[in-house]
A and B are shown apart, each in its own frame.
Chain A
């Protein structure tokens, strides 16, 4: 079995509102899977169905090859976007309680908690109440509680909100470490730069439908528009611009010019290759800069959502 999670044709209605329309995704084992989409697209509905918080109206879900069953909650760790802890309960007691709800025994949970508390250097928080901790500190406890029972599948919904950059980095490293240790991770966020850094695969949900999915680099390949950014040294920039414009689609680049060169975004016509472009440019001016434009996750997101309008 190479997929940890398979969601097949899931539909979910709330009254007359359709929150999920025939959505299917597959999450490969040992990867980080980005579940993306605008607000209200249906991401949380899907995540809640995977967590068995709500049931789908139709469709099937398989976890590690088995049809999803109640006991599977022990194999899933979920950090919801709307998260918190009992404010007046002590950190240690609370962590033990939540761990036991995930099926761990008390002694096992204590041992694991000790390991994580030492790792995050928060051992002396054990007897503090959550309300005595700062938001970032509470988030650390929350993260530990999510991963403590060593779930096969981890679901993080906006995991970095509430963390300062240092701690966000710490958490990011921990997520990657968990992946390397064999866990599979579903990662839902609006912060596209973290998608870029973390995700191997993504799915994009918009208006209750899945509109895009696959490996991130393949999607990028698909979304690239055969554009190149070039820098050219020339005496007469206007003439050069016009000349290139007769053969290719040219725009001024948004990037600032370096060395007073001419910065252009050049799109290839059908049938042309980058070699043709370089050959052409080489005859006209000195090339100081040549890069293929690869769309960022952010660009893909915006484009795909705009196309779905």
Chain B
């Protein structure tokens, strides 16, 4: 056991001290943070800008709706006429809204146009359209001699609050977030298995080509060496994952600090207000980011974190022992191709199945592939954010462990023979023979 510890330590340090590991571990969260910061920065830069929009209202009916807001200023150029207004606006204003003279409210709606240098921002046009629609509707109601107040009194606002049977609130944004979280974790495990599995394989090949292997196995058993190598790399992988998670956590704290302060306050306050006002507040002040952050709190983050570790270990142990056996069987990395394909296949299938699974997380395909041990680490992880019954998780973990024991046992046999074979590329038939040596 003492020797196993020594081997694990060496393999761990060899991996962690490697430059590419350090770069990957430190740089990728930094890159992610940097990217997010950039997006936030650009967003703010964008919204800080005040748009000056000119309008020419020849009808004279709609002028009173143009009230300045924080981001938009309206300038009345009606006296100039549209031709002159267009000339003056060029280079000075964001654009000109033209409302032609029209007595007929029905046709007026179709004749309004907007002139601007570039294609105008959708949100601006949406905002103006909304205002116009409201005003024209009120005018029409007036024409019909109906009391506007009475009509307003009939307006109701329906907002279905959906909850699952155990009482957790679900929402559209929540589902999308779960898809991202599940997909992200599944993809992460896919990447981890491939990156760390290949790293085990490389390390085995390195020991073969540098010819140190025989020196080592005259001191320790081949199985100990293989296991030590696999575990050493696994710890490096977990270290990397934990570092990433911690930096993601920090990132979330930063995000909450930037966007979330008000939202936590207003969340509590909103509970006591009537739904109409809440909706108005949501429409006006709650940004998407705040909603995402609120939904993030609802994700089973702890379950996801621990199941990531378990499924990463299980899946990684299975695949990396196969990788170790492949490394032992060949002399150089170029010879590994013929053996890699069958190994990659279940992983790739798992990713494809996984992305359809997040659309329908509780269907029979989802269940099947999340129990099958060669795909379960990826597929199950994608399902977990949507809530998976415990018996399914436990069944898939038990299957995973049993498969792991079987595969390691087989891989060790190939490994044991392969590491001492030089100079020939074995066929599958030969590998089968090695199993019986």
Once A and B bind, how many residue pairs between them come within 8 Å at the CB atom?
63
Chain B residues closer than 8 Å to A48, beta-carbon distance? 420
B433, chain A: closest CB distance, angstroms: 6
Chain A residues closer than 8 Å to B216, beta-carbon distance? 98, 101
Q: Is B10 part of the binding interface, using a Cβ–Cβ cutoff of 8 Å? A: yes
| Cα-based distance from A272 to B243 in the complex (angstroms) | 89
| Cα-based distance from A83 to B221 in the complex (angstroms) | 17
Within 8 A of B (CB), among A85-106: 85-89, 97-98, 100-102
Given contacts A73-B220, A85-B212, A98-B219, 5 further A-B contacts (CB under 8 A): A82-B211, A86-B14, A88-B14, A98-B216, A101-B219
Q: Is A78 part of the binding interface, using a Cβ–Cβ cutoff of 8 Å? A: yes
Q: Is B180 part of the binding interface, using a Cβ–Cβ cutoff of 8 Å? A: no
**Number of B residues contacting the other chain (C-beta, 8 Å)?**
23
| B433 in contact with A15 (CB, 8 Å) | yes
Chain A residues closer than 8 Å to B111, beta-carbon distance? none
| A97 in contact with B6 (CB, 8 Å) | yes
| A101 in contact with B220 (CB, 8 Å) | yes
Chain A residues closer than 8 Å to B217, beta-carbon distance? 53
| Cα-based distance from A216 to B209 in the complex (angstroms) | 37
| Cα-based distance from A203 to B331 in the complex (angstroms) | 33
| Cα-based distance from A162 to B210 in the complex (angstroms) | 15
Q: Is B214 part of the binding interface, using a Cβ–Cβ cutoff of 8 Å? A: yes
| Cα-based distance from A86 to B222 in the complex (angstroms) | 17
| A84 in contact with B211 (CB, 8 Å) | yes
Q: Is A76 part of the binding interface, using a Cβ–Cβ cutoff of 8 Å? A: yes
A176, chain B: closest CB distance, angstroms: 23
| A83 in contact with B220 (CB, 8 Å) | no
Say yes or no: A83-B218 contact (C-beta < 8 A), given A89-B14, A97-B10, A100-B6: no
A14, chain B: closest CB distance, angstroms: 7
Task: Give A residues with C-beta under 8 Å from B.
Answer: 14-15, 48, 51-54, 70, 73, 76, 78-80, 82-89, 97-98, 100-102, 142, 145
Q: Find the A residue at minimum CB distance from B222.
A: A53
Q: Is B352 part of the binding interface, using a Cβ–Cβ cutoff of 8 Å? A: no
Say yes or no: A53-B420 contact (C-beta < 8 A), given A78-B218, A145-B215: yes
Chain B residues closer than 8 Å to A79, beta-carbon distance? 215
| B214 in contact with A82 (CB, 8 Å) | yes
| B210 in contact with A85 (CB, 8 Å) | yes
Chain A residues closer than 8 Å to B221, beta-carbon distance? 70
B16, chain A: closest CB distance, angstroms: 13
| B420 in contact with A83 (CB, 8 Å) | no
Q: Please list 27 pairs of residues, one from A and one from B, whose beta carbons are closer than 8 Å in the complex, sorted by A's number.
A: A52-B218, A53-B217, A53-B218, A53-B222, A53-B420, A54-B420, A73-B218, A73-B219, A78-B218, A80-B211, A80-B215, A82-B211, A82-B214, A82-B422, A84-B210, A84-B211, A84-B215, A85-B210, A86-B207, A87-B210, A88-B14, A89-B14, A97-B6, A101-B7, A101-B216, A101-B219, A101-B220
Q: Is B257 part of the binding interface, using a Cβ–Cβ cutoff of 8 Å? A: no
Chain B residues closer than 8 Å to A97, beta-carbon distance? 6, 10
Q: Is B3 part of the binding interface, using a Cβ–Cβ cutoff of 8 Å? A: yes
Chain A residues closer than 8 Å to B14, beta-carbon distance? 86, 88-89
| Cα-based distance from A51 to B219 in the complex (angstroms) | 8
Chain A residues closer than 8 Å to B437, beta-carbon distance? 14-15
B165, chain A: closest CB distance, angstroms: 57
Task: Give B residues with C-beta under 8 Å from A.
Answer: 3, 6-7, 10, 14, 206-207, 210-212, 214-222, 420, 422, 433, 437
Chain B residues closer than 8 Å to A89, beta-carbon distance? 14
Q: Which of B207, B218, B220, B437 has the most CB of A within 10 A?
A: B218
| Cα-based distance from A84 to B221 in the complex (angstroms) | 18
**Per a CB cutoff under 8 Å, which of B6, B206, B210 touches A101?**
B6
| Cα-based distance from A76 to B218 in the complex (angstroms) | 9
| Cα-based distance from A185 to B215 in the complex (angstroms) | 17
A140, chain B: closest CB distance, angstroms: 15
Q: Find the A residue at minimum CB distance from B210.
A: A84
| Cα-based distance from A102 to B214 in the complex (angstroms) | 13
| B218 in contact with A80 (CB, 8 Å) | yes
Q: Which of B7, B420, B422 has the most CB of A within 10 A?
A: B420
| A83 in contact with B211 (CB, 8 Å) | yes
A263, chain B: closest CB distance, angstroms: 47
Q: Find the A residue at minimum CB distance from B207.
A: A86
| Cα-based distance from A295 to B312 in the complex (angstroms) | 66
**Per a CB cutoff under 8 Å, which of B6, B212, B422 touches A86?**
B212
B423, chain A: closest CB distance, angstroms: 11
Q: Find the A residue at minimum CB distance from B422.
A: A82
| Cα-based distance from A100 to B6 in the complex (angstroms) | 8
| B3 in contact with A83 (CB, 8 Å) | no
B435, chain A: closest CB distance, angstroms: 11
| A83 in contact with B212 (CB, 8 Å) | yes
| B214 in contact with A80 (CB, 8 Å) | yes
Q: Find the A residue at minimum CB distance from B216.
A: A101
B203, chain A: closest CB distance, angstroms: 10
B353, chain A: closest CB distance, angstroms: 39
| Cα-based distance from A97 to B12 in the complex (angstroms) | 13
Q: Find the B residue at minimum CB distance from A87.
A: B210
| B214 in contact with A53 (CB, 8 Å) | yes
Q: Which of A80, A89, A101 has the most CB of B within 10 A?
A: A101
A253, chain B: closest CB distance, angstroms: 44
Q: Find the B residue at minimum CB distance from A131.
A: B210
| B212 in contact with A84 (CB, 8 Å) | yes
Chain A residues closer than 8 Å to B222, beta-carbon distance? 53
| A101 in contact with B3 (CB, 8 Å) | yes
| A102 in contact with B219 (CB, 8 Å) | yes
